[in-house]
Amino acid sequence: MDKDEIHLRRLPAPHADREFCGVDFLPEDLNEALEETEMRVNKTYSCLPAEEKGIHIINIRAIEDIGYDQHESTLLNSLSKNPDADCKYGLYFRDGKRKVDYILVYQYKKSSAGRTVTRRAHYDSTARSTKQGQPLPGKGVQLETGESEPHMDYHEDDKRFRREEYEGNLVEAGLELEHDEDTKIHGIGFVKIHAPWNVLCREAEFLKLKMPTKKMYQISQTHGLLKKINSVIQKITEPIQPKVAEHKPQTVKRLSYPFSREKQHLFDLSDRDSFFDSKTRSTVVYEILKRTTCTKAKYSMGITSLLANGVYSAAYPLHDGDYEGENVEPNDRKLLCEEWASYGVFYKYQPIDLVRKYFGEKIGLYFAWLGVYTQMLIPASIVGIIVFLYGCATVDENIPSMEMCDQRNNITMCPLCDRTCSYWKMSSACATARASHLFDNPATVFFSVFMALWAATFMEHWKRKQMRLNYRWDLTGFEEEEDHPRAEYEAKVLEKSLRKEHKHKETDKEKLTWKDRFPAYLTNFVGIIFMVGLTFAIVFGVIIYRISTAAALAISSTPSGRSSVRVTVTATAVIINLVVIIILDEVYGCIARWLTQIEVPKTDKNFEERLIFKAFLLKFVNAYTPIFYVAFFKGRFVGRPGDYVYIFHSFRMEECAPGGCLMELCIQLSIIMLGKQLIQNNLFEIGIPKMKKFIRYMKLKHQHSLDHEEHMKKKQRYEVDYNLEPFAGLTPEYMEMIIQFGFVTLFVASFPLAPLFALLNNIIEIRLDAKKFVTELRRPVAVRAKDIGIWYNILRGIGKLAVIINAFVISFTSDFIPRLVYLYMYSENGTMHGFVNHTLSSFNVSDFQAGTAPNDPMDLGYEVVICRYKDYREPPWSENKYDISKDFWAVLAARLAFVIVFQNLVMFMSEFVDWIIPDIPKDISQQIHKEKVLMVEVFMREEQGKLQMLETWKDKDKKKGENCNNHSPRLSRSHSGSLSSCHSYPLDV
């Protein structure tokens, strides 16, 4: 550009916050500035309304050249009104008319050599012809008074150029932008984005968004007895209904149809400002951001790539406003905070429709599913409490536990460990035996069957609820289209194509094949196997701890303390397991994300599904491995006295208590479940965001202490939202609920109170998540979804697995089957008397291996000749002494038969429930059919109207033709011309 060329810029009148909107201040060295940027006269950058007058400046070098210094600016600004109030503190552009639909945030370096003048600018409508290589509005070089600013480094220039091109392309796409670097957060700039009406209409048509039409129809209501029942239920539940308009029952509904610009007359466009709500507007802008690229870099980059490479530091839609304060205007966020995100309304239903309106369908479905799950836990909790109370009521009538507690039986048990442990009385385990009956009684079998049917009913109930929501939210017929490729996928494809070009090969449209991903697949397989092996190793380490600690406590404890050794060891081991589970959960979450990233999935949906699968697999193994060990492996491979199984030739495998391992399983399950919910789900969710918020507050306070005047300003909405936590997706929220669903269903036979504790946790969890979404997180981009995706399949899988596991728990872990076998095969009088003696085998102490006998055989005060141990083996006076007896095989056969019968019976009942309950409620299917019929009627009327109009125009056309034919001969020479003119009236259908 010629240095002597005159360039015009428009300097608006002074604004209220000491800034010159649209003026780019050049450094002292004009040559350097002219090389960096070109300004054209037809670019008019203004952040004031068009009616305000400005002055033209020629060859501005510094603002002081025209005699306008900062002191005069201050004086003028003091007489003007506050512009931040006009734009509602960041919710609108500076003109106070255009709504901010989306925010892009970037970092820039401020020079410390002198005073830096910042700017607020926006793209005028004339800026849409911006070409690549020319500066974008508000993106010029900063002017400093004093010495010239040193040249930015290459990376900062590269990011700036990419931003300029990308924002220019956004303007070409029809969006309107406005910059703001005059913020309280130093070094952070904001780009405000507004989607005008024509862009919203265009994108709504592309996205096939269903919008309400003018046509309204009556929703069919129930009649007769059902109507009376529904009215009674509504009156009863009125106090627990949220006080929001969206939650009230509707009698009429607007007919919805995919938006079309050609059929705008079908829609109610009387209020264009509210036709597209803030959720829809942000979705539209986000779609444009995803598909808009900047090609000035080495490869095409969309918004995801720009965020990943640090060109922009954040991108998010704005919240509707403040949720607390005295003079806060009513908004949906404030209403959600009062009626949903508050612990004081824990007893109320959730305003799901308002949640969907504010956050979108995907988040709305999560909270709807969580609400249905919590409601379904109420009957499960009631039945669980009844089963537990039944155990408490019958504990004194349980003959096996009474025999174990009877001092007169004088049953001497074999030592629990070698040398250091001595013989012990079975009556010392009386408390454990009585407690086991609370959870190991005939009612637990019924409860297991009930919970299997409950899981099937819950899944069917959710499918029906989901269909109702799809109808209410106009998602019927919605099909998810293939998403845009992820930035990492595009980068890998580009890298592959460049390699082929380098080798002079023909390159068609490239894509990643299994050969390209094979190293990642191999890494995934090895990594997952290693993580599962690590979990097993940690559980094995805890087993070693239990064995060694039990032996140590048996040596040092007093006689009264020795009786509680088993409970002490179990409790401490479970706490260790809990701590390890919580730590590994966080580690496995990060590893699962890394393993998914190296696979380079094509779309965000593929990425999310693969991440969910890996994270669920690792966390499932992590949470349930200790429980599986106690349920199915502990006490199974211990051997017998005189021939025990040893680990590393020194540690003897631990045994179950005389009452069985079910009580230990109950302790293990309850501590892990309650601890995980209390610590990980609640304290972490409350504590970590609070801590992060406090750290950000302290950093900002330190920065603001350097600039008291900036600190006194009220923050803009986008500044407040920038300080919130970014939304990390729903995977963590779903994951903790799915793991909890496993605790409720998988081992419910051992812990009937699990549904009750899950219910209490979820009542808090709903409000905790709601508060986090409304107050702690940036507003997520609304995503349309008609179901909960892969999580439904995981839930179904857990439900099927629960039937099998509960069958094995009842059959092999509890004493339910041995009692039945004894009662019907071996009992002399048809009662349970003698059951305990039947399950114990005898051992002659003279058969101990050398060095394994107790050091103090007279600990009980008498010499022991025969000790007892829990197993089905031949006595020492038998020919085949210590061999497995026929009683063992009888009990094993009964156990396997029970597993087969229980599993098939419950599976059949579950499938029957699945079949008998229709997926789509009858009234909803009727309403959907009614909508289709009404829509056909609307279009048929429209077509008939068009045909009538065409017939009318044809008649007019004929009459005009006849009039033209009756013209005088004077006009006959121009007959053809006049005839054509007669037919040239405009035709607008």
- Tens digits of residue pLDDT in 451-462: 989 998 999 999
User: What is the pLDDT, as a whole number, of residue 591?
Assistant: 93
Choose between 688 and 757: higher pLDDT.
757
Q: Got the DSSP string for 155-212? A: HHHHHHHHHHHHHHHHHHTT-EEEEE--SSSTTEEEEEEE--HHHHHHHHHHTT-EEE
Contact 452, 906 (CB under 8 A): yes
Q: Is the pLDDT of residue 524 over 60?
A: yes
Q: Is the pLDDT of residue 809 over 50?
A: yes
What's the burial of 200, exposed, middle or buried (CB within 10 Å: 0-12/13-18/19+)? buried
Residue range 737-750, pLDDT digits in tens: 999 999 999 888 88
What confidence category does residue 315 fall into, taking pLDDT thresholds of 50, 70 and 90?
very high
Q: Is the pLDDT of residue 193 over 90?
A: yes
Residue range 358-380, pLDDT digits in tens: 999 999 999 999 999 999 999 99
Residue range 505-523, pLDDT digits in tens: 555 567 777 788 888 899 9
Rounded to 5 degrees, what are φ and ψ at 843? -140, 135
Helix (H, G, I), strand (E, B) or coil at 721: helix
Contact 834, 398 (CB under 8 A): no
User: What is the pLDDT, as a whole number, of residue 377?
Assistant: 94
User: What is the pLDDT, as a whole number, of residue 122?
Assistant: 44
Q: Average of pLDDT values for 424-446?
A: 83
Q: Is the pLDDT of residue 123 over 70?
A: no
Token pair, residue 314, equals: 């954040």
What confidence category does residue 322 fall into, taking pLDDT thresholds of 50, 70 and 90?
confident
Helix (H, G, I), strand (E, B) or coil at 184: coil
Percent of the chain, pLDDT > 90? 21
* Distance in angstroms (rounded) separating the CA atoms of residues 81 and 16: 7
Helix (H, G, I), strand (E, B) or coil at 327: coil
Q: Average of pLDDT values for 400-427?
A: 82
Residue range 250-291, pLDDT digits in tens: 778 888 888 888 888 888 888 888 889 889 999 999 999 988
Which neighbouring-strand residues pair with 869? Answer: 841
Of 71, 788, 924, which is closest to residue 367 (Cα–Cα)?
788
pTM above 0.85, yes or no: no
- Packing angle between helix 197-206 and helix 278-291, nearest 10 degrees? 70
Which residues have C-beta within 8 Å of that of residue 233, sequence separation ≥ 6?
none
Residue range 895-947, pLDDT digits in tens: 999 999 999 998 998 888 888 888 888 888 888 888 888 888 888 888 888 88
Amino acid, res. 819: R
Q: Average of pLDDT values for 626-649?
A: 84
Residue range 16-51, pLDDT digits in tens: 343 333 333 333 443 443 343 333 333 333 333 333
- C-alpha dihedral (849, 854, 855, 856), degrees to nearest 10: -150
C-alpha torsion sign, points 629, 634, 637, 638? positive
Contact 12, 46 (CB under 8 A): yes
C-alpha torsion sign, points 934, 940, 942, 948? negative
* Distance in angstroms (rounded) separating the CA atoms of residues 739 and 795: 10
Q: Average of pLDDT values for 128-137?
A: 38
Lowest mean pLDDT among 135-139, 345-349, 642-646, 668-672: 135-139
User: What is the pLDDT, as a whole number, of residue 929?
Assistant: 85
Lowest mean pLDDT among 578-592, 705-719, 786-800: 705-719
Q: Average of pLDDT values for 541-547?
A: 87
User: What is the pLDDT, as a whole number, of residue 125?
Assistant: 40
Contact 255, 217 (CB under 8 A): yes
**How many CB atoms neighbour CB 657 within 10 A?**
21
What confidence category does residue 7 fall into, taking pLDDT thresholds of 50, 70 and 90?
very low
* Distance in angstroms (rounded) separating the CA atoms of residues 819 and 816: 5
Amino acid, res. 138: G
Residue range 944-977, pLDDT digits in tens: 888 888 888 888 877 777 766 665 444 444 444 4
Choose between 138 and 95: higher pLDDT.
95
Q: Give start and end residues of each alpha helix (H) in 1-153.
A: 30-36, 70-78, 83-86
* Distance in angstroms (rounded) separating the CA atoms of residues 339 and 351: 8
Which residues have C-beta within 8 Å of that of residue 31, sequence separation ≥ 6?
3
Of 195, 212, 163, 406, which is closest to residue 287 (Cα–Cα)?
195
Amino acid, res. 562: R
Q: Is the pLDDT of residue 1 over 50?
A: no
User: What is the pLDDT, as a whole number, of residue 147?
Assistant: 39
What confidence category does residue 475 fall into, taking pLDDT thresholds of 50, 70 and 90?
confident
Q: What is the mean pLDDT of the chain?
A: 77
User: What is the pLDDT, as a whole number, of residue 121?
Assistant: 45
What confidence category does residue 529 fall into, taking pLDDT thresholds of 50, 70 and 90?
very high
Q: Is the pLDDT of residue 136 over 60?
A: no
Question: For the stretch 580-589, what's the b/e string if a residue is b when 16 or more beta carbons lie within 10 angstroms of its beta carbon?
Answer: bbbebbeebb
User: What is the pLDDT, as a whole number, of residue 797?
Assistant: 92
Choose between 249 and 618: higher pLDDT.
618
Q: Is the pLDDT of residue 74 over 70?
A: no
